[in-house]
Amino acid sequence: MEPSNLAALPEESSEEQNNQQQQQEVASAFASVPRRPPTQSSLQKYSPLDWKDYFDQEDDIKIPDTNDVFHVYMAGTEGPVVFCLHGGGYSGLSFALSAEMIKEKARVVSMDLRGHGKSTTENDLDLSVETMCNDVFAVLKAIYGDSPPAIVLAGHSMGGSIAVHVAAMKKLPSLAGVVVVDVVEGTAMASLSHMQKILSSKMQHFSSIEKAIEWTIKSGSLSNIDSARVSIPTTLKYDESKKCYVHRAKLEETEQYWKGWYEGLSEKFLSSPVPKLLLLAGTDRLDRTLTIGQMQGKFQMVVVRHTGHAIQEDVPDEFATLILNFISRNRIGPHGAEIPGIRWPSQLQN
């Protein structure tokens, strides 16, 4: 397995192996506090963007009988709910640019998972698959009570594994579909031994949010500047002792849970009785179980070209179109109706 295939794991790592030399050069450029402030043009190019340009509202969901509060972003007023679960090290705003388009035909709810973004929990380091699945159920119940609308779970990387596990538990009667973004069990399991090295190779300290956004683009973690400008700020927190910004999620301290995210993922994915869509950023990532399942027509697969690990951020319009096509094709929604005006992209594969 070539290092470029490590992208099936969570943490903004899709291009880090391919661009190792480039990263080292970029990292050295930011290794110390800059002697002079960034230029105005640089500040403007990498300045944060407001989530309100993409989502309609945000909310803090307090879970009863706990001190857990999950931050969610919402968009749209009608249609099925696309419930988005981000990858490790990302945040709910990873789906911001996609939500702007999806909300024209469906509703979008994107949550900050435990230990990420603006969510706060009693134990931010408990990223076990069981705990995170329970978090999803708790948030859905808090928002919709006992009568949730049709739900399409859309998960990227680590979030994709959570989506699959939630579906496999069969505790959500209104579940109408599962979309998994660029994570496959075989590649993910093979990559686990490299993850600490990948995490430690990431730039750890930033003198400003603009510098963090700039590094994210120049390192190849994301290619869409606008997406980085809206999603990166909530993946950071300011460290008073170090007088700089650091990563919000402490993924390096959660290694004990990584195997549980991905072990048995392919079988669970195939066993889910709802329509399934797998989006991949490369053709060589299907393991044997999924290859057989795809040949048997058990799920729909689309290979999205010219994108990194975070498909929903790099090509948000294409991602949104694929989501809406999936909803339309499977007649997901309150009336099982086709969504008018949606056409298949030319690269769709069955």
Query: 19 pLDDT exceeds 60?
Result: no
Q: Are 85 and 75 in contact (CB under 8 A)?
A: no
Instruction: Answer for the pair 265, 137: CB distance below 8 angstroms, yes or no.
Output: no
Report pLDDT for 99.
98
276: left (phi over 0), alpha (psi -120 to 50) or beta: beta
Position 181 in a domain? yes
Three-point CA angle 159, 164, 170, nearest 5°: 130
Inside any domain, residue 39: no
Q: Which of 157, 191, 219, 231 is catalytic?
A: 157
10 in a structural domain: no
Strand order in the sheet with 57-62: 57-62, 69-75, 107-111, 81-85, 151-156, 175-181, 276-280, 300-303
Q: Using 50, 70 and 90 to split pLDDT, how confident is the model at 312?
A: very high
**pLDDT the model gives residue 37:** 53
What are the residue ranges of helices labelled H in 17-126? 20-29, 40-45, 96-102
Count other C-beta atoms under 10 Å from residue 121's C-beta.
Answer: 18
Nearest to 184, CA basis, from 350, 7, 320, 2:
7
Asked if residue 154 lies in contact with residue 181, where contact means CB atoms within 8 angstroms, the answer is yes
Cβ burial, residue 267 (10 Å; 0-12/13-18/19+): middle
pLDDT single digits (tens) 316-328: 999 999 999 999 9
Q: Which of 304, 79, 344, 296 is nearest to 180 (CA)?
A: 304
C-alpha triplet 93, 285, 156: angle, nearest 5° = 15
Give the predicted TM-score (pTM) of the model. 0.84
Would residue 320 count as lying in a domain?
A: yes
Res. 23: pLDDT tops 50: no
Q: What percent of the chain has pLDDT over 70?
A: 83
Nearest Cα residue to 135 out of 152, 154, 115: 115
Tell me the pLDDT of the chain averaged across its residues: 86
CA distance 200 to 23: 12
* First and final C-alpha spacing in the chain: 26
Coil, strand, or helix at residue 60? strand
**Residue among 330, 217, 343, 223 at smallest CA distance from 277:** 330
Task: Tell me whether residue 182 is one of the annotated catalytic residues.
Answer: yes
Angle value at C-alpha 234, between 231 and 235, nearest 5 degrees: 85
Catalytic residue, chosen from 124, 135, 182, 314, is 182
More confident residue, 254 or 36: 254
**Predicted pLDDT of residue 38:** 52
119, 80, 112: which is closest to 96 by C-alpha? 112
Q: Report yes or no: 192 and 259 within 8 Å, Cβ to Cβ.
A: yes
Separation CA 19–CA 4 (nearest Å): 9
Domain that holds residue 206: 44-337
Cα gap 182→304, rounded to integer Å: 10
Residue 309: active-site member: yes
301: β partners = 278, 349
Q: Which of 94, 309, 314, 328 is catalytic?
A: 309
CA 281/CA 8 separation, integer angstroms = 9
Place of tokens 């300045």: 47
CA atoms within 13 Å, Cβ hemisphere of 306: 5
As for how many domains the chain has, the answer is: 1
Do 180 and 160 contact (CB within 8 A), yes or no? Answer: yes
Q: What confidence tens digit (pLDDT) does each residue in 170-188 have?
A: 999 999 999 999 999 988 9
Instruction: Name the 3-class secondary structure at 163.
Output: helix
Q: What does the pLDDT look like over 67-94, one tens digit per residue? A: 999 999 999 999 999 999 999 999 999 9
- Return the bridge partners of 120, or none: 69
Determine contact, residues 9/157, Cβ cutoff 8 Å.
Answer: yes
**CATH code where residue 186 lies:** 3.40.50.1820
Is residue 6 a part of any domain in this protein? Answer: no
